[in-house]
Amino acid sequence: MKVVVFNGSPKGDRSITLKYVLYLQNKFPDIIFKIFHIVSVENKNENEIRKDILENLLFEIEKSDIVLWAFPVYIFHVPSQLLHFIEIVRKQKISDVFSGKYAAIISTSIHISGTLAINYIHAVCDDWNMKFTGTFNCETNDLLKSVYREKLIFFFNSILNTIEKKYELAFEFAPVKKHEFIYQKGHKVISIDTLQKKILIITDSTDKESNQHFMTEYFSDQFTVRPEIINLNEIYFKGGCLGCLKCGYDNHCVYQSADEFTDFYKAKVLMADIIIVSGDIKFRYLSHVWKLFFDRSYFFNHTQPLAGKQVGMILTGEVSHIVGLKEMLSNYYLIQDANIVGLVTDESKNSETISRLLGSLADRIIYAAVHNVLNTLPSEVIAMKYILEDALKNRFGFINYSAYRYYNKNHKFQKTTQMYGKLVINKILILLIRFQTIRNFIHPYFVSSILKKFNKLLENS
């Protein structure tokens, strides 16, 4: 039996999520595991799979029994690199090779909204006519605990049992309908006074004849002062977030002097009072360029740089047919204490209605900015905040020191569970990491010590 593994972590063979796969490889020596690192598969021109890999990739999938997706959760979804790979597979029209294959997921996170990422991959498997068998979703370091190693083996044995007995498996996600409506740009302009509020519209539109472009233009026409519109495709990204956590101490991204993103984010996004997200549905999500934006913004760690900002969304495509998409996009802003004013889509397929909604959103978002409106949070965001606070307070404050410092200074730590032993260690490391020489030692030591624990486990298994 053969398993093809798509390692969606940008860390490649240093990925902790991959260690779960390697553990299974050790425990099931009669099964062949063929691992593809997503970061090594894409061509540098970013529009196709490397030609020297493509033929072998298709061959291995064709000969496989199981396709195993392994990835960490980055900003409520899969990493931008994995999202881009899936875009490429569809654009190159090679998804047929996945048809009929059994599929499963191994996903790691700190349990902040990992379900949305898992649902996305599951839905992709359904779209590609795969037989989805299940998910192993755990916290990053759970493999170090014997109870989770037992659960992982049980999970994989259940997949093997499903294949052996040829169980029928139902699709859970309906196909996304083709969206063919053409929006006719309205003529009525409200001429709303911006009241000196700075509006930034961020788009990824590449087609000036698209609904996305015309709806965004109509929205911007409503104001006496035309908002600034920035296209993400015109910003140079050297790469996606690496998950290296080197931004954890002082919010300095490793790409900072290598591309344009951090300067753009600080000069434009942070300076805006109002942010408008303009996107088009691309294969059950926005484009991978939008995911690049979300992932790379992590260089501010969890310091809530968008707190108090008013956010509106203009999306085109079958938004309501994609489970969790609206929540996924909203949560990115809500967990930072920004305010979601509204969402306008073209799903009504009525140009007049859409134009009125865009005009209303323009008026409402100025009102919200002037009056500093901040709505109550949904329960899932409150739960995510507690998980995050617990992680910063008890375990990862020293490696995410900028976030710990922010939470402490702004009295954001609530009455989370205190794990006193880890809490003491965390506080000691937080004190030590203020010294540059110690900080230069602790970060690489932390990363290598974690990997050593997993590597030792794999050696013993």
14-23 pLDDT, tens digit each: 999 999 999 9
Residues 159 and 249 occupy one common structural domain: no
Residues 242 and 363 occupy one common structural domain: yes
Given 122, 142, 165, the domain boundary residue is 165
Given 165, 191, 217, the domain boundary residue is 165
pLDDT higher than threshold 70 for residue 39:
yes
* Cβ density class 117-147: b for 16+ within 10 Å, e for less: bbbbbbbbbbbbebbbbebbbbebbbbeeee
Residues 365 and 384 occupy one common structural domain: no
Q: How many Å apart are CA 435 and CA 136, to the nearest integer?
A: 39
Residues 394 and 333 occupy one common structural domain: no
- Specify whether the CB–CB gap between 284 and 320 falls below 8 A: no
pLDDT on residue 186: 81
Residues 362 and 393 occupy one common structural domain: no
Residues 389 and 245 occupy one common structural domain: no
pLDDT higher than threshold 90 for residue 3:
yes
Residues 147 and 205 occupy one common structural domain: no
**CATH number of the domain enclosing 72:** 3.40.50.360
User: Could you tell me if residue 241 is inside a domain?
Assistant: yes
CA distances from 428 to 327, 394, 395, 398 (A): 37, 11, 11, 9
The per-residue pLDDT for range 232-267, each reduced to its tens digit, is 999 999 999 999 999 999 999 999 999 999 999 999
The per-residue pLDDT for range 82-139, each reduced to its tens digit, is 999 999 999 999 999 999 999 999 999 988 878 889 999 999 999 999 999 999 999 9
pLDDT on residue 422: 63
- Specify whether the CB–CB gap between 339 and 373 falls below 8 A: yes
pLDDT higher than threshold 90 for residue 36:
yes
User: Could you tell me if residue 29 is inside a domain?
Assistant: yes
The per-residue pLDDT for range 170-212, each reduced to its tens digit, is 999 999 888 889 999 888 778 999 999 999 999 999 999 999 9
Instruction: Answer with the residue of higher pLDDT: 427 or 80.
Output: 80
| Model confidence, pTM | 0.91
User: Could you tell me if residue 176 is inside a domain?
Assistant: no
Domain extent at residue 365: 199-370
Q: Is 419 exposed, middle or buried (0-12, 13-18, 19+ CB in 10 A)?
A: middle
Residues 78 and 111 occupy one common structural domain: yes
Closest CA to 215 of 348, 330, 323: 348
- Per the structure, the count of domains in the chain is 3
Q: How many Å apart are CA 400 and CA 321, to the nearest integer?
A: 36
- Specify whether the CB–CB gap between 432 and 408 falls below 8 A: no
Residues 14 and 92 occupy one common structural domain: yes
Residues 252 and 114 occupy one common structural domain: no
User: Could you tell me if residue 193 is inside a domain?
Assistant: no
Residues 36 and 124 occupy one common structural domain: yes
